[in-house]
Amino acid sequence: MAKEKGADVFVVSKDPQSMKANEGTIDLLLNTVSVVHELSTYLPLVARDGTMVMLGIMSGDHSIN
């Protein structure tokens, strides 16, 4: 469905090869995880001047190391 809506790439976050292959390539990352999680897992995917949009509602604060 994401590709039908205009996405060029779908990255499987549980697949280390998919994550590594797409480092620094994502202009817009839609983060829909609704629990506290480590943002540093996903930040390497975002391109320079890219944007990560947080859509999930979390019960706690996020920290970035």
Q: What is the pLDDT of residues 10-20, one digit of tens each?
A: 888 899 999 99
Flag the least confident range among 7-11, 26-30, 48-52.
7-11
Mean pLDDT value across residues 19-28: 95
Q: Which two tokens stand for residue 46?
A: 């975002």
pLDDT tens figures, 32-60:
888 878 888 899 999 999 999 988 777 77
Dihedrals phi, psi of 19, to nearest 5 degrees: -65, -45
Q: Two tokens at 58?
A: 């979390």
List the beta bridge partners of residue 51.
28
Q: How confident is the model at residue 1 (pLDDT cuts 50, 70, 90)?
A: confident
